[in-house]
Structure 1
Amino acid sequence: MIAGVSFLAMLAVGMPIAFALAALGLIYIFATGNLILLQSYGQQMFGGLENYGLLALPLFILLGEFMNAGGIGRRLMALALAMLGSIRGGLAYVNLVANMMMAAILGSTVAQITIMSRLAVPEMEKAGYPRDVSVAITAAGGLLAPIIPPSMLFIIFGVIAQIPIGDLFISGIVPGLLIFLAFIGVIMWLGRRHGFPKTEAMPIRARFRAVLDALPAAAIPVIIVGSILGGLATPTESAAIASLAAVLIGLFVYREMTPADILPAFLNAARGSATVLFLIAAAQVFSWVITFENLPALVAETMQAMTASPIVFLLMLNVLLLVLGMISDPIPAIILIVPVFLPVATGVYGIDPFHFGVVLCLNLTLGLLTPPVGTGLFVASLMGKVKAERLAVLLMPFFFAVLSVLLLLVVFPVLSTGLKDLL
């Protein structure tokens, strides 16, 4: 009880959650007087990082840095434009297709919104699209990042849940495509409402040149997804191969990267990785504490008294996750939720852990675009120079589209587990 109150107090005064989680273990030890546990404290924290799957995290962050420096994102945007003909709202669809391609490389919503805001919004505004709507479509496309593999949230969930990350990636493919199709429907509706301009047809020669120029860039998502689906590489190995490919493409094919860009990319990746990895190490201490407190068993008892239906359990959990996502970033929320609710979901309700992981990560991602925290919302607002309040309103149709997909996933688990079981 003392540990729980102290933890909430630390969060209330604005202490970073990683430090609050680490301090929680010490408070629990001294509050219970069980000082012998101090000998295991450092070991528990180190044990949180002693997982091969976590190596994929810094490698995918590094891949994003190399891709940004090498001009790969711009080529993928051009490829998406070449794939579409002369249709109304063509650039909006191009934006979404390019976002899906970027999702298969970056795996980070904030990184994706940052890059795509630079690439897509100026082009759409130049073509006659309202700026605020252009920024909203770009921000919504960022929701594909945590679901379409590779996904940083999937990596973290897989490490905490101790399930194969490659299988988790496969489980996210069908839900990611469903969200993509739902977003196409939203863009069609927005196009009629705002009178999107018609995209001019590209000459055959220009289209062929754009496709040819983008082939090396398109090879990166093919390497990642293909090597995992084909069983040729683990997610960690695929990230390493893709990072090497991104460097070679940037240096020798597009020649937009120089050797001087490599060291800053490593430093940026190291900073980003250190922040996330310390959070995961502190999360291990949190899991250790709640195990001693027998919290999962208490939650299981309470949930069983409320409902015996797995669907009702998931619906109640989704409501809790939506509220939590509004006040917390996804990574801390995953760290708080998984140790408590995963044993209940799998042990009491028989829910597949991969299905649970997809629903959890997709739901928490919505929090990136909802106030008051909404990191992705404020990044898009800043990059696109649109008020966050206006952007939040424009994102509502996309928000409800994702909620519809979430409901489908809850009712039909095969949508997330079917492809994995088939393969």
Structure 2
Amino acid sequence: MALVRSLNPARAAAPASLPLVFTRGVMHLVEFAAALLLVAETVILFASVIYRYVLDDPLGWSDELVSILFSWLAILGAVLALYRGEHMRLTAVVKKLPPRWQTWTEALAAILVCVFVAMIVSPAAQHAHEQMAITTPSLDLPDGLRAYALPVGSVLMLVAALSRVAVLNNWKQCASALVVVALVAGALWLAQSWLLSIGNWNLLLFFVVLVGASVVLGVPIAFAFGVATLAYLSLITHAPLGIVVSRMDEGMAHVILVAVPIFVLLGGLIEMSGLARSLIDFMAALLGHVRGGLQYVLLGAMFLVSGISGAKAADMAAVAPALFPEMKARGAKPEELVALLSASGAMTETIPPSLVLITIGAVCSVSISALFVGGLVPALVATIAIAFVCWRRARRDPLPQVERASTRVILRTLLVALPALALPVLIRACVVEGVATATEVSTVGVVYTLVAALIARALGKRIAFGQLYRMLVDAAALSGAILLIIGLATSMAWALTRSGFSAALVEAMAHTPGGVPGFMLVTIVCFVVLGSVLEGIPAIVLFGPLLFPVARALHINDVQYSMVVILAMGIGLFAPPVGVGYYAACAIGKVSPDGVGRRMVGYMLALLIALLCVAFVPWLSTGFLPAGF
């Protein structure tokens, strides 16, 4: 899955027309509003921690206000992601097409987005109007103030999508793409009677063929979900289209997800403050002189940094640029580095405070605190498995031409790295000790990192605080892309549930031969396949609520099952040649995927063995959980 910046209206090379100038001005206002909302949300949540834990005077209204701000932040972030071309989508297939066809697929994607957004504007306005009758308990504000984010955001997304069509500047291709969309819609409408007659087999057409074709052609995955759901509801059911909006609202507005944009912001602050670099310098001083030493440094850095940033893309982007040049200078092959980066990326999602952990807790009703505790040992097991492969491969390598760092150098780099080493410990301790909730703890990390950056600047270190506004906007856009997927995947999951597919799937999974071991093996296979084509978040939103009840019926602990699901998806996401995360790692490492795939085999086998250990040794996930979990 890629965050693509191609054909960005803000970066169009051709002279801008008046509509594009107007759109650009509107989007600058959206950027400012999103940045302001993110700051306000962070301040309110941190103030809530101080008032409750330090002053023993809880702010009863904080959650309500944050919920309103968060809905606006999520939808404005989605608008920015669309305008900037940063919604998650599969680009591996499209990039292999000739340039002319690449432009045509861009037109098709933009037109499908326009069609979807135009269809939900009216239902979104109706939904917001209905929510005005509901008031919040503490502030006595109408819930419509929050819900009106959807119709406003839908109009803005329509403007952004139209601007992307205009930037293509190839009206023949746009017209042909529009004709294709109209022909497909017309064919589905004419086949309506036949689709109804085949029962639930029509799900394959809407949610496998239509979604799959859209994703392969580069349509942002969130909108692929949305288009398929609207088509299914319009042609097969009598349900109003407002259901899509209400489910979307429910999925995007979950209070646990408030942490997503703040953790994304925290990842950027870690890099800006220099904490990531100081951590890598310390580990290089400690292990840089041994065979494969820097490979172990890369592993350790991914383990620690992932616990800070909470986002896999941020993990790899923070570590690779800082470490790869030094590793290449010491003779490491770029393809081997990217293979190791991919393998380490596959196992980091269980390390708190991972966005996937937060999502799985939100949509599957699993304790976030328990997930944060239970994720560490499985990640450690996977790290040891990868380290074993590194050791095996490094045995024949010559000793690096680097002198062993003196104790003085190690102690000096350790002293500099102490703030970075303390941050993941602080975040986890705050959650476990009850200082802050899983939603609030991200703000503790943000404040801590800003204080560390201010101290470093006072000591003479150059800190690029001028990047802070851009960092806020980028965090809002990335979060909007993630949250829109969750919202539209929630709508799609509702449609699948209504069709009876959920009940059939649960029934089939519940009667898997072999009891718990058989169910675990089927789960691993299913989520490896899902992980190869979907990011972890949409896969969990779609299938987590369906499969977790089956696991509970088989008396499998929620935390253990969560770890199995997350690790299986991680393997699928980074396994070549299908795994889309694998291509993201190659892009970050600036290496062609062609020479990396064969080097991934050993790492994938090691991760699979680690996954089987987690699946069949419950203690690895539950051994350190408090009583009652």
The TM-score range, normalised by the shorter chain, is over 0.9
Q: Output the CA distance in 2 between the equivalents of 1:322 and 1:247.
A: 38
User: Aligned partner of 1:405: which letter?
Assistant: A
Change (3 A) 1:108 1:290: same
Q: 1:61 maps to what in 2?
A: 264
- Choose 328-337 or 215-224, whichever is displaced more: 328-337
The answer to whether 1:311 aligns with 2:517 is: yes
Q: Displacement, 1:373?
A: 4.3
CA distance in 2, matches of 1:128, 1:9: 46
How far did 1:211 drift?
A: 1.0
- Verify: 1:153 aligned to 2:353, yes or no: no
Quickly say closer, same or farther: Cα 1:81–1:45, change in 2 above 3 A. Answer: same
Deviation sequence 1:100-131 (CA, Å, 0-9, x none): 11111122222222222211111112122233
Tell me the equivalent position of 2:207. Answer: 7
Aligned to 2:45: none
Q: What residue in structure 1 maps to residue 563 of structure 2?
A: 358
1:140 alignment partner in structure 2: 343
Cα distance in 1 between the residues matched to 2:599 and 2:325: 18
Letter in 2 for 1:22: G
5 Å-filtered alignment, 1:283-298, equals: 283-298=489-504
SS at match of 1:105: helix
CA distance in 2: counterparts of 1:222 and 1:13, whole angstroms? 42
Q: Is the CA contact (8 Å cut-off) linking 1:109 and 1:144 kept in structure 2?
A: no
Task: Specify the alignment match of 1:402 in structure 2.
Answer: 607
Distance 1:391 1:304 in 2: 39
Q: Secondary structure of 1:313's partner?
A: helix
C-alpha contact 2:330 2:401 (8 A) present in aligned 1: no
CA distance in 1: counterparts of 2:482 and 2:437, whole angstroms: 21
**1:368 equivalent in structure 2:** 573
Deviations 1:214-247 (A, max 9, x none): 1122222122122122232222222111012212
How far apart are the structure 2 equivalents of 1:206 and 1:242? Answer: 28
Residues 189-228 of structure 1 mapped to structure 2, 5 A cutoff: 189-195=392-398, 197=400, 199-228=402-431
Instruction: Name the structure 2 match of 1:325.
Output: 531
2:588 corresponds to 1:383: yes
Shifted more, 382-391 versus 220-229: the winner is 382-391
Residues 154-193 of structure 1: pairs in structure 2 closer than 5 A: 154-193=357-396
Q: Structure 1: how far apart are the matches of 2:453 and 2:274?
A: 7
Alpha-carbon distance change, 240 to 259 in structure 1, aligned in 2, over 3 angstroms: same
**Letter of the structure 1 residue corresponding to residue 583 of structure 2:** F
Indicate if the aligned counterparts of 2:357 and 2:371 stay in contact, CA closer than 8 A.
yes
Is 1:392 the counterpart of 2:590 in the alignment? Answer: no
Separation (CA, whole Å) in 1 of partners of 2:462 and 2:439: 26
Alignment of 1:336 with 2:542, yes or no, is: yes
Q: Which residue of 1 aligns with 2:43?
A: none
Once residues 129 and 224 of structure 1 are traced to their aligned partners in structure 2, the CA distance between those partners, rounded to angstroms, is 34
> 5+ unaligned residues in a row in structure 2: which ranges?
1-199
Aligned to 2:508: 302
Shift of 1:66: 0.9
| SS of aligned partner of 2:623 | helix
SS of match in other structure, 1:231: coil
TM-score by length of 1: 0.92
Larger Rg: 2
The number of residues matched between the two structures is 421
Q: CA deviation at 1:50?
A: 2.7
1:230 aligned to which of 424, 429, 433: 433
Q: What is the alpha-carbon root mean square deviation over aligned residues? A: 2.2
Aligned partners of 1:142, 1:45: CA distance in 2, in Å?
A: 29
One-letter identity of the residue aligned with 2:487: A
| Cα drift, residue 25 of structure 1 | 3.8
CA distance in 2, matches of 1:47, 1:13: 24
Shift of 1:144: 3.6
Distance, in Å, in 2 between the alignment partners of 1:394 and 1:129 is: 13
Q: Determine the C-alpha separation between the residues in 1 that align with 2:345 and 2:371.
A: 19
2:618 is the alignment partner of 1:413: yes
Counterparts of 2:555 and 2:316, CA distance in 1? 36
- Give the CA deviation at 1:174: 0.8
SS in 2 for 1:88: coil
CA contact (8 A) 1:90 1:198 kept: no
CA deviation map 1:385-422 (0-9, x unaligned): 43313212112211111111111111112211221245
SS in 2 for 1:386: coil
Asked if the contact 2:532–2:575 (Cα under 8 Å) also holds between the matched residues in 1, the reply is yes
Aligned ranges 1:78-157 → 2 under 5 Å? 78-84=281-287, 86-157=289-360
Q: Measure how far apart 1:333 and its partner are.
A: 2.1
**1:283: how far off?**
1.9
Indicate the larger mover: 230-239 or 397-406: 230-239
TM-score (norm: length of structure 2): 0.63
For 1:164 and 1:50, the matched residues in 2 are separated by 18
Residues 33 and 179 of structure 1: is their aligned pair in 2 closer, same or farther, counting only changes over 3 Å? closer
More deviation in 393-402 or 274-283?
393-402
Preserved CA contact (<8 Å) 1:295 1:340: no
Does the CA-based 8 Å contact 1:65-1:268 persist in structure 2? no
Point out which structure has higher relative CO (alpha carbons under 8 A, 6+ apart). Answer: 1
